Each structure stands twice: as C-alpha cells, then as structure tokens.
Structure 1
C-alpha cells in the first residue's frame, strides 16, 4: 500500500493530500460520492468477493458509475488482494519507514510497473 500511496501522491501533485485523507477516513474525505461508492465495493472485495451486493452496485450506479467502472473496481481490488497475499505468503520484507517508498512511488507514477533493467552479473 505504501508504494501505491506514494505513486498516487505523485500523480495527484498539488492535491496529494487527498491520499492521506482517504487513508485516514474515506467517508470524511473530499472524494466524490461515486469514488466513495466504488471504494466501498473494493473494500468488500478485499474481505470476500461475495460480500458485494446488488445494493452496493446500485449505490455506485446512483452516483454515476457505469458497468465498466464497477467491473474495473472489482478486477483491480481482486488483483491487489492476490498480489498482497503473494507478497505476504513469501514473507517479503516491507520497510516500515514510509519515506523509502517516495522514490518507488515516483517511478511507478512516471513509468508504470516497468522495472529498471537488470545489470549483468
């Protein structure tokens, strides 16, 4: 989460405080109602995909989300859950100091998930 939060801060530039607002209390953040409804769905996917109900989808649609946005929300949330379980299952080292993620977040924001080339051994 820290690397993705750092990437979001980089992408939001002058509005980067929204990332911390959402992480502290999404419901009280300045996000649009549509984004809050989509993130609510994503949170349910994080617990268990079947937690998402027709009412959750209707709420997102009420605020303007279309089928593709709902689909993409579920897909992205499910993919992140899989990757998080993969990283956790390998007991990967993740630094506690959030500042170490700043450079990683900048690279992700500017270049996506393309890793720097490996140096020959």
Structure 2
C-alpha cells in the first residue's frame, strides 16, 4: 500500500514514476548510467551491490527487486542472503568482499568510512574508478530505499521476480518508455 492517496493501494514504483514523470525521467536516466553503462563492475556486480545496500537498509522492495535482477544476471541464488548474514563466510569472491564491506559501512555508518576502508578496496585489485562507481551505486540505492520506504511502496516475491527479469531484459532505459 502506498502512502499516496491519489494512487491505487497496490501501486508499485512504476506507478509512482508515471504519476511524477518530471522527477522520474532524470532519475531513471541516472539509473541507466550508473547501473548499465561502462564500469569496472559488471551489471551483475552492480545489481549485487544495489541489493546488498538495500538489504543493509532493510528495504524489502529494493532488496527483493535487485536480488532478483542480480540473479537474472547470473549471481548465485542465496548469495545475497548469505552476504547479509555474514559477509566473511558468504560465498562472495575475495575481490568483491571488500567492496561490499565498504558500501555496507557507507550505508550503516557513513561518517566512519576511512582511507583504510578505501585502501582495502584498492588492495583487492580495484582502481579509483571502481571505488567511485561503487559509491555511486551505494548512494543511488540509499536514495531509492528512502524514496520507496518513504512512499510506502511494497510488493511480493512474484513482483520481484517479474521486475528482476524486466530489468535484465530492457534495462533502466526501457522503463522510460513504460512511463510515457
């Protein structure tokens, strides 16, 4: 149920975007840029970061959608749940683990992020562009988590699966056509 009385109770984010296209269009374009354009991270890895951040924030909508999207891109089912439960023992590659640790800390305790945290990302083999891109994904999904939760947008597992497949197939730019 959304908190917006002008929308049907079962509205999803797409209906919110349709109701507010002036803000939705640049936001969706930014998603396409951050999540699908050239990056040291694959689309699967960026979706994994988005789902992880959303899980740290306990945003069930974004965590559900982006877990399914990450899995549609080939991330192993159950990996996100394991990473959120215990990042140190989760079946996350050694190169990606410090990135998830970094975005998790940036999400939960942003003022406590230090140069040592960034150095851990660099030591794992990532460059400056990768740190930049990981921070952008983290920031974007902290924003989206607040937007979705603040507007009361909810969905179930069936919708998460549908949305994950849609994002895999048409990307974020495909959503622009759906709101017009």
TM range (shorter): 0.7 to 0.9
Q: Which has the higher helix share?
A: 1
**SS of alignment partner, residue 27 of structure 1:** coil
State the distance in 1 between where 2:85 and 2:110 align: 24
Gaps of 5+ in 1: none
Gaps of 5+ in 2: 1-62
Q: Does the 8 Å contact 1:8/1:19 carry over to 2? A: no
State the 4+ residue runs in structure 1 displaced beyond 4 angstroms: none
Give the total of aligned pairs: 116
**SS of alignment partner, residue 129 of structure 2:** helix
TM-score (norm 2): 0.57
1:87 matched residue in structure 2: 148
TM-score (norm 1): 0.82
Q: How does 1:1-121 map to 2 (within 5 A)?
A: 1-12=63-74, 15-90=76-151, 92-95=152-155, 97-113=156-172, 114-115=174-175, 117=178
**Structure 1 vs Structure 2 CA RMSD:** 2.0
